[in-house]
Amino acid sequence: MFDWERVLKTITSLYGISGEELSVANWIQKEISPFVQKTYINTLGSLVAIKEGVGKIKGKLMISTHIDEIGFVVGAILDGGFLKVEPRGGVDPKILQAQECLVRSINGEMLPSVFSTVPPHLIKPEERNKVASYDTLILDTGLSEEDVKKRIRIGSPIVFKAPFISLLNNRFSSKTLDDRACATISIATIKELTKIYHEWDIYFVFSTQEEVGLKGAGTSAWEINPDVAIAMDVGFASQEGYVGLSLGEGPGLAVGPNFTPKIVKDIRDVAKNESIPLPIEPSARPGGTDAGAIQVSRGGVPTALISIPIKYMHTPIELLDLKDCKYTVRILTEYIKNLDTEYLEGLKWS
Amino acid sequence: MVLKELCNLYGVSGNEGEVRNFIRNEIKDYVDEIKVDCLGNLMVKKRGRNCSKQIMFLAHMDEVGLMVEKIEKNGTIKFQSVGGILPSIFPATNVKILGKETLSGVIGIQPIHLQKSVLSPIKMDSLYIDCGANSDTELNGKIEIGDYITFITKFSQLGDLWEGKAFDDRVGCSIMIDILKENITPEFDTWFVFATQEEVGLRGSITASYHIKPDFALVLEGTTACDIPLVERNRYTTQLGKGPAISIAHNGLVFGKKVFTFLKNIAEQKQIPFQVKEKISGGNDATRIAKAEKGTFVGSVSVPVRYIHSPTSVMHPEDYINTQKLAMGIFNNSQNFFNQ
Amino acid sequence: MQDIIKRLVETSSPSGREENIQKIILEYIKPYVDDYHIDSLGNLIAHKKGNGKKLLFDAHADEIGFVATYIDDNGFIHIEPLGGHLPVNLPHQRIRFEYGTKGTIGYESEILMKQASDRKEVSFDTLFVDIGARTRNEALSKIRIGETATYDSSFVDMGNRYMSKAMDDRIACAILINVIQTLKSNHHDLYFVFATQEEVGLVGSKAAAYGIEPDYGIALDVTATGFRDTPKGAKRIPMKLGSGPAIKIQDRSMIADHRLNQWIQNIAEESHIPYQFEVLAFGGTNAGVIQTTKSGVITTCISIPTRYLHSASEVVDVFDVRHTAQLMKTIAEKEISI
């Protein structure tokens, strides 16, 4: 049995801000090496793992999940050693007051820090309704100015510090479930594939720099030149004020201009045959996931996107339901079983 | 001319199949090669006397539209817009939902009597489609989330002008079909690309450029005209009846002098009236083509269209004729581009 | 080098119309490179052979500008922007058209009458250019629709600082020219790209990098300065004039490769070249598109701190310019190891 909790807990705790994902890539590489034929880390740092199939004429399926996490970098060091920060990836400044973070020092230590707040007693009435912005937020490491200047510089990365917690109904909350939860699904799928017969070569890409422009997936797709690609990312689950996917009721399958209808249909049929819930996620706008970059790589790659519903995206308390992860492993495995020479032939567009 | 038929077809971005099939059928007897890629681009080749250069004409097949976002318990349908549409044009519009079944519907709005404030702007949150259903269960098996929704305006005469949906960019498609049907062998191999997904991020042209690797490309578009009262003259962008609009620059690209001059010269030589597009807001596939691979020469010629990105756009028949003439002139003389 | 800078910044060559500037750059570098070509987007690409991996240096040759799109009945020229202008900064700026006609930018002054404090309504819709013409026909005799223009501003030597239009990014072009002219030996196979249309969307550079397929890419561009540099400067910008070249950490287009940055930081320290780090909350450079070329390129950007970006009076510090040139030359001589 795949130990979801162990892997999720470890993988979300690893440091891997966009652009510095190496420790995540290395950990995954160790975790999956026994189960795949080849792994390597490419130019922009994405980890590629190839699970070879046994077919004679075989296609390439790329499964992409990103391993970078959002965070900040030090924008300036102020008098007293206080830090100003700039976001790396989209972080809402409103949620930051009183959050705990870790600043990665020049020597690689993870220094604890907190975002400042003004106590309610002192706040002026006219300031009460003011929204926090990066102009005013201050990060405090508790270190002296001298010490800060020795250990931290402009550009030093900062990530959320958040515990991995277990909730009711097999739900978990942590930072970085976006998108390490999907990376975990890829790992689980790799292990599952050792038990089945499959013809195609499956390229699992653990991509970098998704949060800052889909960079790792686009360049990896160019390098691999796959016949079909499936990107997995987190999607918006219904929560107060928003109606979307529902936790525990299956991953979403994106439909819309950026997703190739044939692949979408085939994945849907697999889910239907296996009675796995796979609600449709309508995506009329050009998407901000790896799928968007992969589909237009070279002469075009037939691409689909599977979304794992999570709540509270891009915060340190992202929340998912394990059922959705398990459903996804089954969908991927069953889809991969169908991939044969005939399927490859069927992809000839004209 | 098949503009009328083209505009009446449904082809919201990502769902261009109906348009593609129609075009394919129209031109199959006049071309030497037909290719479709996985984004749905229809790419056809007219073999030239000389294959040392590849010329590419490109128009996009897709049009703006809507998509089912959610089916409410009461049977109404929430939607997303596909491509850039102002929320204010939606109320009291007729649409069709293209699901397993095709359902007609209307976009509802509160009667003026019941509105708290007539002055408040229309928000997407408040809009929904009513197709007559009493509940979501009635719609089971007929339509589902993710189905495309289209405007249904039929092509018609409007005084001296034409009215229809999707002039952006079926007008470009129609002119390319006209050129193909002339069945003239060009000097260089010439590709005609009927592209997809222009309205949702200029995506089809990315892969089309990769396939064709053009040495010179021309984008044929329907572009904004705002030549109406109460809009200042310097915001017209283009005007109906003044001929094809040649672009100098638009979002993300400045057209090279060599290309701009080449297009202008052909218009002048052939005494075709033309105008220069006066605003640079908005962009089109040319931006993608210019930057594709090692970069290429690209130009953009457009038919002015009023009320673009709405169900009732309006254009001038003479602009069609003159744009067609200019495009034909470019097709026949593309070799001269390289001898400048 | 000052003469070269003066000549480059005073040349009028906005995005999409880089022919003038490329001609001048070519004149300076031709004797010093192994080969060069100008591609279909107008990029000037020069090659200095080396035995090592391919290293691309990029500076953009274009500057922000304007294009005449419509002339009204009273002879006023209506313009559209080429590149990112803040319209509110434009009223009463002098501009110069491609063929020499000069004018000043006016605006619909009823806007100010309406709302003296709020100039949000100043946009290209409400701006126009006065070239002194009394009628449309008189204007048409001087200017053609489609003619481009740039700021009419000349180079000023302020002592320790230089002021002019188009420091963005001609100062980087001047530095690359200097590197090309003075480089004695190089390990890497060097490509110098003087790229076009950066200001409208990183156009030229993307295509140039695709053709070259470099192993490493370093863009050289200008960056903004903030609260440490000018009175009540931008709160989110730590860079300042006179602190040396800025090694880019991130902007909206790219997270720089931190290994390459570390290597550059090391060689700067070894060579006693001052440097600062750059974190920019907005904007992007050609490095952003070089990085994602094909299967990816190890990329960063070195920036010259510049005040009043995109204005007719951009100011750079001679100290920064000199040390940026020194840093770029040192990079060009050595072998990158990461």
Domain with CATH 2.40.30.40 in chain C: 65-151
- Please say if A52 is a catalytic residue: no
Q: Pick from B96, B126, B151: which residue ends a domain?
A: B151
Query: Where do we find the tokens 């649409």?
Result: B95
Q: Does the predicted interface ipTM exceed a cut of 0.95?
A: no
Query: Would the CB atoms of C201 and B235 count as touching at under 8 Å?
Result: no
What mean pLDDT, rounded, does chain B reach?
95
- Looking at the fold, whether B203 and B267 belong to one and the same domain comes out as yes
Which tokens in the block code for residue A4? 């979801």
**Number of independent structural domains in chain B:** 2
**Candidates B34, B66, B200; nearest CB to A350:** B34
- Measured between CA atoms, how close is C289 to chain A, in angstroms? 10
What is the Cβ-side half-sphere exposure of residue A16, based on CA atoms within 13 angstroms?
33
CATH architecture, domain A71-160: Beta Barrel (2.40)
Asked if residue B308 belongs to a domain, the reply is yes
Query: Would the CB atoms of C279 and A220 count as touching at under 8 Å?
Result: no
A contacts of B196 (beta carbons < 8 Å): 257
Query: Would the CB atoms of A86 and C279 count as touching at under 8 Å?
Result: yes
Q: Residue B138 is part of which domain span?
A: 65-151
Identify the burial level of C73 via C-beta atoms within 10 angstroms of its C-beta, where 0-12 means exposed, 13-18 middle and 19 or more buried: exposed
Cα C308 from chain centre? 13
A contacts of B15 (beta carbons < 8 Å): 257
**Candidates C82, C197, C207; nearest CB to B293:** C207
- Looking at the fold, whether B201 and B322 belong to one and the same domain comes out as yes
- Looking at the fold, whether B77 and B103 belong to one and the same domain comes out as yes
Nearest in space to C14 (alpha carbons), one of C57, C68, C66: C66
Bridge partners (DSSP) listed for residue B43? B35, B193
B contacts of C17 (beta carbons < 8 Å): 254, 257
- Homologous superfamily in CATH for domain C65-151: Peptidase M42, domain 2 (2.40.30.40)
Residue B108 sits in a domain whose CATH number is 2.40.30.40
Domain coordinates in residue numbering, chain A = 4-69+175-345, 71-160
How do residues B208-228 score in pLDDT, each as one tens digit? Answer: 999 999 999 999 999 999 999
Q: Pick from B99, B125, B151: which residue ends a domain?
A: B151
Instruction: Please list the ranges in chain B whose pLDDT falls under 50.
Output: none
Nearest in space to B285 (alpha carbons), one of B224, B174, B204, B176: B204
**Candidates A42, A76, A155; nearest CB to C295:** A42
Cα C150 from chain centre? 13
pLDDT bin (cut points 50, 70, 90) of residue A237 is: very high
- Measured between CA atoms, how close is B242 to chain A, in angstroms? 34
Query: Where do we find the tokens 């976006």?
Result: A178
**Candidates A255, A257, A300; nearest CB to B38:** A300
What mean pLDDT, rounded, does chain C reach?
95
Domain with CATH 3.40.630.10 in chain C: 2-63+165-333
Q: Using beta carbons and an 8 Å cutoff, which residues of A are at the interface with C?
A: 18-20, 42-44, 73-76, 84, 86, 88, 134-135, 153-155, 209, 212-213, 215-216, 218-220, 222-223
pLDDT surpassing 80 at residue A221: yes
Nearest in space to B95 (alpha carbons), one of B68, B122, B74: B68
- Measured between CA atoms, how close is B339 to chain C, in angstroms? 14
- pLDDT the model gives residue B119: 75
CA angle B88, A238, A1 (to 5 degrees): 145
Q: For testing the chain C interface, which of B206, B280, B291 should be mutated: the one with the most C CBs within 10 Å?
A: B291
pLDDT surpassing 60 at residue C117: no
Please report the number of interchain residue pairs, chain A to chain C, with beta-carbon separation below 8 angstroms: 77
CATH architecture, domain A4-69+175-345: 3-Layer(aba) Sandwich (3.40)
How do residues B59-103 score in pLDDT, each as one tens digit? Answer: 999 999 999 999 999 999 999 999 999 998 999 899 999 999 999
How do residues A271-329 score in pLDDT, each as one tens digit? Answer: 999 999 999 999 988 778 999 999 999 999 999 999 999 999 999 999 999 999 999 99
- Looking at the fold, whether B189 and B147 belong to one and the same domain comes out as no
Nearest in space to A344 (alpha carbons), one of A294, A302, A306: A302
How do residues C210-252 score in pLDDT, each as one tens digit? Answer: 999 999 999 999 999 999 999 999 989 999 999 999 999 999 9
B contacts of A281 (beta carbons < 8 Å): 145-146
- Homologous superfamily in CATH for domain C2-63+165-333: Zn peptidases (3.40.630.10)
Quick one: CA dihedral A313, A256, B223, C64, positive or negative? Answer: positive
Return the SS3 of C264. helix
* B210/A contact by beta carbon, under 8 A: yes
What mean pLDDT, rounded, does chain A reach?
95
